[in-house]
Amino acid sequence: MSSQTRVLHIVLLKTVYLYFKWLAQAFSSCRWLVKPLSRCRRYWVCCGFSFAIMFSIIGTWYLHAFIGCKPPSSLHSNWNVLKEMPIDRRMIHDNGLAQTPPMGWSHWNHFECNINETIIRENVDAMISLGLPALGYQYVNIDDCWADFDRDSEGNLIAHPATFPSGIKALADFVHKSGLKFGLYSDAGYKTCIGNRAASLGHELQDALRFASWGVDHLKYDNCYHDGSPEHVRYAAMGEALNKTGRPILYSICEWGTETPALWAPKYGNSWRTSRDAKDRWKRVKLLADDNNIWAAYAGPGGWNDPDMLQVGNGRMSLAEYRSHFSLWALMKAPLIIGCDLRMLDKRYLEIITNKEIIDVNQDPLGVQGRKVSQQGFCNCLEVWAGPLSGGRIALVLWNRGWMSDVIIVKGHDLGLPLGAVTTIRDLWAHKNLPEKFTGSMQVKVGSHGCKMYLLTVT
Ligand code: GLA
């Protein structure tokens, strides 16, 4: 029994004890043996109601936990992480880009609309001085708020003159000269999501050609203020326009999972958001991970599920939470787009986003999204996530979503490992091999909100 389960049992027993104590007091004050029964009616009614409520709560709790309703310890017992193939890749739109999940930086999660070209240039310089490009962080993505409120007299999108006075072409040139790639943002509606900037609905080809002429390498395309036509129509229009430019532009579809994009977006784009906006909040990280997990089978080289950009370094989550966030995004083959201010990044956060061994998991050429394979504990908050890597290796994240340290158990059959398989275990946060080998199962204590990330290699 896990320690969280033990604590829950103690709380439960204590509640039952207090309930019966309260009941005894209620009856003794009624003194129903010496008064006529009718005078005690309110106690009987009260007693009946409270009994019903109390036992339906306890009953549901136990039914859920111990009989039938409990999620099986293995969520995908037939799923073999070593064997399952992703969906038919012929369905995938192929502009040759995003063979591994895109990596880069965007201002949105930290600065939102409070940006200008100086902030962007300084972050590009910081990216370089921190050595991020060598780790694979390539794209510098400008999100919302670069565009002016209206188009120019020829109907072209233009940069906001006060915040981007040198224009977008000059900024793209600067980024390219720094050896990086340049990303821009628009929206499949009449205004971008901030509410007052010009967007691309009805101007797809004109805007795509302009983006190409500026040297844009990545387009994030948002979903606000549109005409109500279906996402797969509006997003296809921009996808086709980008193809017509002849410039390879990575197409990042951002419709927040509203029209189950995994089912159609692989035909048009290189990534598609699967849920709401990332926030620098633990609760949101859990929600985004679960939403993104559903569509695991649809991701692969050329097209990825996107649970949104990283919040690591923005300061409102603990180090353990940021490590979990980064480990899961890497395992799920999510785009790794840093979202903090790189000019003043705390060393502890930098260590997280520069963990090369974990980045290597994300960038593994096999390109199969890791997923949740087991949920444990009374709280169901102790989870095993796993995914196959090239060379028959397996990446593993043991994630404790609960409020106290607990033991997480990994079983070989949850990973599809044959009986008798022996693997080495490398701890990707400690950067060392464990002395023991994995021979069918292992138990590891994981701190609250934290995770362990391992690489298993069959010997
Ligand atoms: C939406 C997107 C975010 C961000 C903002 C910009 O909310 O989901 O990622 O681009 O718009 O306004």
- Tell the residue nearest (CA) to atom 3 of ligand 1: 277
Atom of ligand 1 nearest to the CA of 309: 9
Substitution candidate for ligand 1 out of 108, 115, 196, 200 with most atoms within 8 A of CB: 108
Ligand 1 center–CA 156 separation, angstroms: 22
Q: Residue 183 is encoded by which pair of tokens? A: 């990303």
- Tell the residue nearest (CA) to atom 11 of ligand 1: 193
The answer to pTM > 0.75 is yes
Beta carbon of 115 within 6 Å of any ligand 1 atom: no
DSSP annotation of 418 reads P
User: Could you tell me the sign of the dihedral formed by the alpha carbons of 34, 40, 44, 46, in that order?
Assistant: negative
DSSP annotation of 319 reads H
pLDDT digits (tens, 9 = 90+) for 375-389: 999 899 999 999 999
Ligand 1 center–CA 221 separation, angstroms: 9
Ligand 1 center–CA 214 separation, angstroms: 22
Buried b / exposed e over 183-219, threshold 16 CB at 10 Å, is bbbbbbbebbbbeebbbbbebbebbbbbbbebbbbbb
Ligand 1 center–CA 144 separation, angstroms: 7
pLDDT digits (tens, 9 = 90+) for 358-409: 999 999 999 999 999 999 998 999 999 999 999 999 999 999 999 999 999 9
What is the band of 214 on the pLDDT scale with cuts at 50, 70, 90?
very high
Question: What's the rounded Cα separation, in Å, for the pair 352 and 371?
Answer: 21
Question: What's the rounded Cα separation, in Å, for the pair 186 and 452?
Answer: 38
pLDDT over 80 (residue 28): no
Q: Of the candidates 146, 144, 132, which has an alpha carbon nearest to the alpha carbon of residue 180?
A: 132
The per-residue pLDDT for 5 is: 64
pLDDT over 90 (residue 2): no
pLDDT digits (tens, 9 = 90+) for 74-101: 344 444 555 544 455 445 578 999 999 9
The per-residue pLDDT for 42 is: 64
Beta carbon of 108 within 6 Å of any ligand 1 atom: yes
Least confident of 19-33, 58-72, 247-261: 58-72
Q: Residue 196 is encoded by which pair of tokens? A: 């007052």
Beta carbon of 454 within 6 Å of any ligand 1 atom: no
Amino acid at 99: Q
Q: What is the helix (H) or strand (E) element at residue 169, kind and residue range?
A: helix 167-177
Q: What's the chain's average pLDDT?
A: 90
Atom of ligand 1 nearest to the CA of 192: 12
Percentage of the chain beyond pLDDT 70 is 86
Atom of ligand 1 nearest to the CA of 256: 8
The per-residue pLDDT for 313 is: 98
- Tell the residue nearest (CA) to atom 1 of ligand 1: 193
The predicted model gives 162-185 an average pLDDT of: 98
Atom of ligand 1 nearest to the CA of 220: 10
Return all residues near 368 (Cβ < 8 A) that are at least 6 apart.
Answer: 84, 86, 299, 300, 333, 387, 388
What is the band of 61 on the pLDDT scale with cuts at 50, 70, 90?
low
Catalytic residues: 222, 277
pLDDT digits (tens, 9 = 90+) for 272-328: 999 999 999 999 999 999 999 999 999 999 999 999 999 999 999 999 999 999 999
User: Is 354 buried (19+), middle (13-18) or exposed (0-12) by CB count in 10 A?
Assistant: middle
